[in-house]
Amino acid sequence: MYPKVFDLYNHCSDELKKSLDIGREFEQKLRTEEDNLKLEGKLKQAAEYDKEAKGEKEAATAEERETQ
């Protein structure tokens, strides 16, 4: 499978790399935040599945229903 982004950063001049670093740092921050949100959702879902498996499923609150 091919990468989502074709990165030519290593072939750029040092001057251009300095300019690109700002955007690369920003994108890395966004990706980290997105990954953390996905992980948080998966952890919550796994906890719910564990409760269901143990027969300890509690009634979902209105807030939990809205997020699903």
Structural domain for 42, as ranges:
11-56
- pLDDT on residue 61: 52
pLDDT in tens, 11-31: 999 999 999 999 999 999 999
Examine residue 1 and state whether it is found in any structural domain, yes or no.
Answer: no
Domain membership flag for residue 64: no
In a domain, 65, yes or no: no
The answer, yes or no, to whether residue 8 has pLDDT greater than 60, is: yes
Residue 27 resides in a domain: yes
Quote the number of domains for the chain.
1
Is residue 18, in this structure, part of any structural domain at all?
yes
Write out the chain in H/E/C secondary structure: CCCCCCCCHHHCCHHHHHHHHHHHHHHHHHHHHHHHHHHHHHHHHHHHHHHHHHCCCCCCCHHHHHHC
